[in-house]
Amino acid sequence: MNVTADGLRFPDGFLWGASTAAHQIEGNNVNSDWWHMEHEAGTTIAEPSGDAADSYHRWREDMDLLAQLGFTDYRFSIEWARIEPAPGHFSTAEIAHYRRMVDGAIARGLRPMVTLHHFTVPRWFAEGGGWSADGAADLFERYVRATAPIIGTGVRHVCTINEPNMIAVAGAVRKLGAEAPPALGTPLPDKATTDALIQAHHRARVAVKAISADIQVGWSIANQVYQALPGAEAATAAYAHPREDIFIEAARDDDWIGVQSYTRTRIGPDGPIPAPDGVERTLIGWEFYPQAVGHALRHTAEIIGDVPLIVTENGIATDDDTRRIDYTTGALREVAAALEDGLDIHGYLHWSALDNYEWGSYKPTFGLIAVDPDTFERTPKPSAAWLGDLGRTRVLPRAV
């Protein structure tokens, strides 16, 4: 971290970009478990993903915009349900589609970070018992090997699995069904799912390295920023371990770890407590708390030691774009402070490039770029120009 007369300069090579996930932007992901759940009789999902932002066809526009705005990195996911629509059947055409995306990013000066699995799985995988079924890690490893033509050249960073801790929580909620606990805090992740995901990640790491030893492999963890109230330190540590730390520990031999944070969760002696009265809340109900990413980075570094950190998601659901700029300014100050304290942080990828399907609803808008739901026309918001400009200068002005 360089301190200049103008402000704080991010290190050379620092990743500066935005993130997306296939199911949330592509549209018509019809072979996935999520598509099926969205259309099941009696579903509790408020609205289906439908055409999403039609990025399956419009990825070139998305990448053009990001590159023009000043970003140098783009994290996107490839869709297992498209690549392997039936067990053991791999689609050459879909593999070619994602390879075109990798080439398209590179041609525009965007370094692709490719996520292999971002929440959605093929419907056949879910119906076979999903992550808690025997052999789940074998099936994932087979899929990862099949992605060689996509990631084999030109891809520097591969994220094996996005937020395994949230996948394990979803596994527990599914098993509990109607007995699922109320929303406050995070349900206890399913143990079988946790173990399978860690195994799948380790197997995928080996498989990716066999595809190319140059690829830097990691995974990204949802960091809930558990903050202990006075006297609740031990309770907080016990609460955090199965929900977060166990997944961070599993990345100790990785090339990097993805830190994803949005808000905080305060923990008292009896568990999570609500956000303080009167705090500003985002469109998703979370406390407006830009400091979260600083805590998340420091907590992750404490557990993982020397493994480089990348902020792979951070952002805010709001329809007031000035608050997005305020939030992100606060978050970047936290990243800068952590860099100054010597943390080895290699990048910041904002969530999200586009307004997208927020797992059941289009209402919480996280995007730097607005998308018209009927015409799919993209309109960058002021925050996109602002964050892209910072990407050009790499200098965060001092707080005044």
Using CB under 6 A, list all residues that contact ligand BGC: 21, 24, 162-163, 166, 222, 260, 313, 351, 358, 366
For residues 231 and 269, is the Cβ–Cβ distance under 8 A? yes
Q: C-beta of 22: minimal distance to ligand BGC in Å?
A: 10
- Structural element, H or E, at residue 126: helix 123-127
Nearest residue (CB) to ligand BGC, 284 versus 337:
284
Nearest residue (CB) to ligand BGC, 166 versus 267:
166
Spatial neighbors of 48 by CB under 8 A, at least 6 apart, are: 35, 38, 39
Query: Which is the catalytic residue, given 79, 94, 163, 358?
Result: 163
Residue type at position 252: R
Q: C-beta of 21: minimal distance to ligand BGC in Å?
A: 5
β 15-19/73-77 pair status: parallel
Compute, in degrees rounded to 10, the torsion defined by CA atoms 286, 291, 293, 296.
-90
Characterize 2-28 residue by residue with b for buried, 16 or more Cβ atoms within 10 angstroms of its Cβ, and e for exposed: eeeeebbbbeeebbbbbbbbbbbbbbe
Nearest residue (CB) to ligand BGC, 221 versus 304:
221
Nearest residue (CB) to ligand BGC, 70 versus 315:
315
- Structural element, H or E, at residue 258: strand 257-260
3-state DSSP of 271-312: EEECCCCCCCECCCCCECCCCHHHHHHHHHHHHHCCCCEEEE
Q: C-beta of 351: minimal distance to ligand BGC in Å?
A: 6
Task: For residue 163, indicate whether it is catalytic.
Answer: yes
Pairwise CA distance, residues 86 & 125, whole Å = 9
Nearest residue (CB) to ligand BGC, 222 versus 353:
222
Pairwise CA distance, residues 33 & 40, whole Å = 10
Can you spell out the DSSP letters for 142-193? HHHHHTHHHHTTT--EEEEEE-HHHHHHHHHHHHHGGGPPPSSS-PPPPHHH
Nearest residue (CB) to ligand BGC, 166 versus 336:
166
Q: Which residues are catalytic?
A: 163
